[in-house]
Structure 1
Amino acid sequence: MKKNITFLFLFFLISISMNSQQFILGVKGGLNYTFGAELETEGVPASGFNGGTLESDYKEGFHGGIYGQKSFRKLFVRLEALYNTTKSDFKFDKRSTSYSFDKISIPILVGYHIFDPIDVYLGPGLSIMVGDAVLENEASFEGGVIPTDKSYLSANIGTKAHFGRFEIDLRYEHNFKSTEETPVLLDFTSFGGINSVFKNKRVNQIMLSVSLVLFDSSYVPRRKANRGCYF
């Protein structure tokens, strides 16, 4: 699967770079903030924990990868391949547990150049899980591994500003994956077991990244007066 994804990505970059008005290739990386999952928990009266629905709190993760972009005057098409770590926290009184997984994201984006230096864009994305989704302190599944789909579709919308070879990008990624409720048992040493239901395993993300252009088909180096070649 990973080899096929790599091949398709490289094929796309080579294809769109041919006969292009402008084609750029670069790398990017940054932070992502994950939110959206929900746990329904029973109360533990002896500890003062009343239970109820817990929504996950923002937790930072990281992403990094490569991208290719082809421009058609003010319009552009952009393909990215990103490795993404996601993590969100559920707080039980003074205790907390985390829900985390890693994934490869492949968004296909269509954008519009509004004015220098601002662009806006949107498009679908495919996320493929790398390894397992894990709920910390979960005792009913081996290793806390939570059953979940290995891939899902998402919608991406964002804006970016470019300054020469650098870009700053702010994006929202919405997860379309359907989710089934999963009973779980959370085991805290001082809390005891807490019967819970993982009502919503879907997570959404806000992503902030910085990009660096490595190749630009429209770039023409200047010839220095005292040299016979380009640098």
Structure 2
Amino acid sequence: MKKLMMFALMIGALNISAQDASFGIKGGLNYGATGEYESISRLTDDFGSSFEDGENKTGFHAGFFGQFEILGIFLRPELVYTEMNTEYSQFDYKLQKIDAPVLLGVNVLGPLNIKAGPAFQYILKNELENTNLSIGDVENEISVGYQLGAGLDLGRLGFDVRYEGAFQDNQALGGNLAADSGFTIDSRPSQWILSIAYTL
């Protein structure tokens, strides 16, 4: 968590000389799923595995942003709390995380803009629901994906739609020792993000 806060402060310091700086709050809905679920069975000397993609479900997010603009080009760092829910055949997987996207954007036509950049993800908690199975921590607490999308600014209000994807897997290991079986879930999301922002 300290690393993310330091990163956000560094971004702000690097842009102190920007011609146009603004700050605000944002929130909205996200619709998508975490990555592939792999089930592994170990019976005597035989090994078997099966794979499953999660079902997309709706979650939410809320946080803060800064925007630093020069000549129609802007840098937009954000710090956002996000909850994701994914449904697999045996359980629901709930993920709570802090997202820190750092997006570079350009105003293309009036109030319309496009933006893209890396999205840093810090996992706060991951857990299974509606099951007796257990799951451990993710392999990497901090991982990097990407976001890209478009926005519409109408005065102090902003409307935004983005897609978030992953560069690589970030596995969490779970299992059922009594049945001598295990599984992994890729915690990196593939999701659509719909947001409303208000500039303070």
- Correspondence for 1:178: 169
Deviations 1:71-105 (A, max 9, x none): 1112111111111111111135xxxx111121111
CA distance in structure 2 between the aligned counterparts of 1:198 and 1:138, rounded to whole angstroms: 16
Q: TM-score, normalised by structure 2?
A: 0.82
Supply the AA of the counterpart residue of 1:209: S
CA distance in structure 2 between the aligned counterparts of 1:108 and 1:90, rounded to whole angstroms: 31
Query: What is the DSSP-based 3-state SS (H/G/I as helix, E as strand, rest coil) of the residue aligned with 2:8?
Result: helix
Supply the AA of the counterpart residue of 1:9: A
Deviations 1:144-197 (A, max 9, x none): 44543211001110100011110001011112243458463399xxxxx79563
CA distance in structure 1 between the aligned counterparts of 2:25 and 2:187, rounded to whole angstroms: 30
> Does structure 1 residue 125 correspond to structure 2 residue 123?
no
Supply the AA of the counterpart residue of 1:85: E
- Correspondence for 1:157: 148
- Correspondence for 2:194: 208
Does structure 1 conserve the Cα–Cα contact (< 8 Å) formed by 2:175 and 2:183? yes
- Correspondence for 2:128: 135
Task: Give unmatched runs, 5+ long, in structure 2.
Answer: 41-48
Which residue among 158, 163, 166 is the counterpart of 1:167?
158
Task: Give unmatched runs, 5+ long, in structure 1.
Answer: 43-50, 188-192, 215-231
CA RMSD of aligned residues (A): 2.8
Supply the AA of the counterpart residue of 1:109: L
Q: How many residues align?
A: 192
Q: TM-score, normalised by structure 1?
A: 0.72
Structure (1 or 2) with the greater strand fraction: 2
Query: What is the DSSP-based 3-state SS (H/G/I as helix, E as strand, rest coil) of the residue aligned with 2:27?
Result: strand
- Correspondence for 2:46: none
Supply the AA of the counterpart residue of 1:117: P
CA distance in structure 1 between the aligned counterparts of 2:177 and 2:149, rounded to whole angstroms: 37
CA distance in structure 1 between the aligned counterparts of 2:119 and 2:5, rounded to whole angstroms: 16
CA distance in structure 2 between the aligned counterparts of 1:14 and 1:180, rounded to whole angstroms: 34
Supply the AA of the counterpart residue of 1:6: M
1:122: how far off? Answer: 0.5
Supply the AA of the counterpart residue of 1:161: L
Does structure 2 conserve the Cα–Cα contact (< 8 Å) formed by 1:183 and 1:195? no
Deviations 1:188-221 (A, max 9, x none): xxxxx7956336443222110000010xxxxxxx
Query: What is the DSSP-based 3-state SS (H/G/I as helix, E as strand, rest coil) of the residue aligned with 1:37?
Result: coil
- Correspondence for 1:6: 5
